[in-house]
Structure 1
Amino acid sequence: MKPLKTRISLLLLLLPMVLLNAQGELKSVEGYSPNIGSMVYMLEDLKDRITEQVKDLDQSQTDFLYDSNPNSIGALIMHLVSTESYYQVATLEDREWTEDELASVGVAGELNAKVNSMLKGEPIGYYLDLWDAVRKKTLTLLKTKDDAWFASNIEEGLNYHYIWYHVMEHSANHMGQIGTIKNRLPK
């Protein structure tokens, strides 16, 4: 039995998560092999948290740039769409983007001033709808894979599990950037 002081400290650390209705345990999503199901849980959790953070932004907030060298929230969401689509096509379909895919979702594979200038004037729902469509396809395709595939190497020292871990942690990284931009939005 843990000492009372340790239990109280743990409770105080986890209280904000409980108050925000966050889950306190990582689960494997049914319908997927166990390791893929855990990754799906993490991908979906991050997507839900990012969506919750941005879903009510107006146009000026979606396009807001707080200095001369940042990314807008719209561009960051589109970058997440591009990243997931790229790895989806490469790892789950074993192919390259088509010209149409490159034009529609590949535009924000890299973030730079040119991309930021191109990604203006679309409502936040536009980016979230694209992400929903890409995620739906990712989830469908991941159901066709198993944990043996997930653990198999693409090349020496690089497996599919790591690639999808990268997609997940990429979302977490940009979730922090989105939070920073939201904190700088004009009041």
Structure 2
Amino acid sequence: METKEKDLYFINETEGYSSEIGKLVSMMEYTRYTTLKEIKELSLEELDYHFDGKSNSIGMLLYHLASLEKAFQIMTFEDRELTDKEWEELSVGITLSDDAKREIKGKDISFYVNMLSKTREKTLYYFAKYTDEWLDKVTPFGWDYPANNYFKWFHVFEDELNHRGQIRMIIKRLND
């Protein structure tokens, strides 16, 4: 799906999607557009930079965004929890532990952009198959709470917005 820049500043229905899903798509597309705009010129060194021993790198945060979205694809589109194998594949990107610091590095910007794009393509493909009623479906969220699919997908791009703020902070520190 190609979105024109001038269309990004409206939360509207999106062609090919039901009304509310289309609005959700328009919010997610704006969020992704601004994330990609922020990172497009970053070097490998900038993507791997840690400003202290406890910080995440920009590459780690981008990897996290794709990993989290993949997990929510499974939980909402397939209506199930992750298998142990899926958790093993996604956990390093989701938890951003010390393992992530060791494993998520040495990848250039095209790696992350490709990962984010392929993951989003799959999300948009499945969104087109559902009606707005699917957004209201309630299933467990974490261990303690129920949530509807609308909230779960809001959470995906809310997480991206939060991490984009971290990315901006890291870029600012790089430029100090």
TM-score by length of 2: 0.86
Cross-structure match for 2:104: 119
CA contact (8 A) 1:65 1:72 kept: yes
1:181 is matched by which residue type in structure 2?
I
The runs of 4+ residues in structure 1 deviating greater than 4 Å are: 20-23
Matches of 2:39 and 2:103, distance apart in 1 = 20
Task: Specify every segment of 5 or more residues in structure 2 that has no aligned partner in the other structure, as ranges.
Answer: none
CA RMSD of aligned residues (A): 2.1
Cross-structure match for 1:152: 137
Deviation at 1:63? 0.3
Matches of 1:42 and 1:84, distance apart in 2 = 15
Q: Quick check: 1:167 aligned with 2:156?
A: yes
| Aligned mate of 1:75, from 60, 70, 74 | 60
| Aligned mate of 2:24, from 39, 62, 65 | 39
2:19 is matched by which residue type in structure 1?
P
Cross-structure match for 1:132: 117
| Aligned mate of 1:94, from 79, 91, 98 | 79
Cross-structure match for 2:167: 178
CA contact (8 A) 1:69 1:113 kept: no
Secondary structure at the aligned position of 1:158 is classed as strand
TM-score by length of 1: 0.81
Deviation at 1:168? 1.3
CA contact (8 A) 1:83 1:167 kept: yes
Task: Specify every segment of 5 or more residues in structure 1 that has no aligned partner in the other structure, as ranges.
Answer: 1-19
Evaluate the alpha carbon distance shift between residue 72 and residue 140 of structure 1 in structure 2; reply closer, same or farther with a 3 A threshold: same
CA contact (8 A) 1:86 1:97 kept: no
Farther off after superposition, 52-61 or 93-102? 93-102
| 1:1-26 Cα shifts (integer Å, max 9, x gaps) | xxxxxxxxxxxxxxxxxxx9684431
Matches of 1:136 and 1:102, distance apart in 2 = 23
> Percent of aligned positions with the same letter in both sequences?
31
Is the radius of gyration larger for structure 1 or structure 2?
1
| Aligned mate of 2:10, from 25, 31, 37 | 25
Cross-structure match for 1:141: 126
Secondary structure at the aligned position of 2:12 is classed as coil
